[in-house]
Structure 1
Amino acid sequence: MPLHVSPAPAPALRSILAALGSPTAVSEARTPSLRAQQGPLSPESPLPVHVLDVLDDVSHRGSPRTRLTGWRFIVRSGERAVAAAEAMLTADGWTFSHFCEGPYVTSTERALRQAESLPAPYQPRLLFVPELYMLTLWLHHDITADGAEGLPAPGDLLVPLAPAPPGIAAHRTHPVADLLPRLTLRLAPAAPLLGSTA
């Protein structure tokens, strides 16, 4: 089924286009593959980037929440993905954040292709778990939802991108109900040992 990609905010896209059009921004980027490109570069496949947080207070212990931190675009030169570009929301609105390259660029493309072969339609997003250095493709079941909001829901799927943390298989599609509890368990603060003193 085709994926239902949410449109990125117009100012976010404009900030990426401005950065790609700036010889200084491209030449100063820490992305050799981007600097080496000749010809036009185009940002495609916009995905909202959410960060997974686990609440530590007593009333919500172990409860996950997400927050939007940016929009990531795959930067193409012709048919080839050469980098990713990210825009972030600041007090003054959307602005270009950074270019990046590496395994997550090709892994994101691979996961998107996997998702297109699923029998049901999904809205693709990225879910970042900074404490585990983990990035997943988050396939949200409600294709009409605002891509900038929401929590992983029971009908959603998560596809860990490579490289994934030890014990979690990359590019394997997991129902949220299976993978999210494993992630929150790894993120939860350890309980104090009996008899220990603070």
Structure 2
Amino acid sequence: MPLRIHPAPAAAERSVRAALHPATAHSPHPLHENRTALAPALPLPVHRLSPVSSPDDSLHARLTGWRFLLERGGKAVGAAETMLTADGWTFSHFLEGPYVSSSERAVRRAESLSATYQPRLLSLPERYMLTLWLHADAAADPAAGSPGPDDLLVPLAPAPPGIAADTAIGTDELVALLTTRLAPA
């Protein structure tokens, strides 16, 4: 079944398009070359997971931004992230690196799953980890909610030691891994 990708807030997308405009170039960064040829695609809400210290902890995530893959010639070559400020959605930063291709790959694989999910990104900064969060309630508000028992999480490459990248696992299984195998000594 296809994924149910919700549109990003219009202001978030406008801020990315404005950042891609040549007049806003701030540095000779490679991603900034020929930025008008870049197109924002695949908007995903980015949620940050509160630290988890025990398998019994309830999971709490909060929306921190929207990430757009940046495509050139149909291929993802970077990403742009927005954040919510007191004045509304604003461009935050450009990204490159392994999470760009890993995100694209994970979404394409998730499209072949038998159930319909809402794709999101879930950041676990304390573990230097990013996952594709496949939310089981495809009609849910993409800005709300926390990972639940029916959701799947796909750790993106590179994943921390002890976590298999690019493999969908249940929320409970990931929490167990985070609280046992990755617990500080």
Length-normalised TM-score, structure 2: 0.90
The 1:64–1:53 alpha-carbon spacing in structure 2 relative to 1, beyond 3 Å, is same
- 5 Å-filtered alignment, 1:7-156, equals 7-25=7-25, 27-28=26-27, 30=29, 32=30, 34-37=31-34, 40-54=37-51, 62-156=57-151
Q: Please say which structure displays the higher CA radius of gyration.
A: 1
8 Å contact kept, 2:78–2:100: yes
The Cα shift of 1:153 comes to 1.0
The 1:151–1:47 alpha-carbon spacing in structure 2 relative to 1, beyond 3 Å, is same
CA RMSD of aligned residues (A): 2.1
The one-character-per-residue Cα deviations of 1:160-195 (angstroms, maximum 9, x if unpaired) are: 0000000000001101121123225578788xxxxx
The 1:187–1:29 alpha-carbon spacing in structure 2 relative to 1, beyond 3 Å, is farther
| Structure 2 equivalent of residue 165 of structure 1 | 160
State the secondary structure of the residue aligned to 1:107.
Answer: helix
8 Å contact kept, 1:131–1:187: no
Q: Which runs of 5+ in 2 are unaligned?
A: none
Give runs of ≥4 in structure 1 deviating > 6 Å. 186-190
The Cα shift of 1:64 comes to 2.4
Q: Which runs of 5+ in 1 are unaligned?
A: 191-198
The one-character-per-residue Cα deviations of 1:40-94 (angstroms, maximum 9, x if unpaired) are: 21100000000010378xxxx8332101100000001121111100010011110
| Paired letter, 2:42 | S
The one-character-per-residue Cα deviations of 1:106-145 (angstroms, maximum 9, x if unpaired) are: 0000000110111111000000000111000000010100
| Paired letter, 1:138 | W
- Which deviates the most, 173-182 or 103-112? 173-182
Distance 1:29 1:142 in 2: 42
| Structure 1 equivalent of residue 2 of structure 2 | 2
The 1:112–1:63 alpha-carbon spacing in structure 2 relative to 1, beyond 3 Å, is same
| Paired letter, 1:161 | L
8 Å contact kept, 2:162–2:181: no
Distance 1:29 1:174 in 2: 40
Distance 2:57 2:27 in 1: 41
8 Å contact kept, 2:21–2:35: no
State the secondary structure of the residue aligned to 1:95.
Answer: strand
8 Å contact kept, 1:62–1:185: no
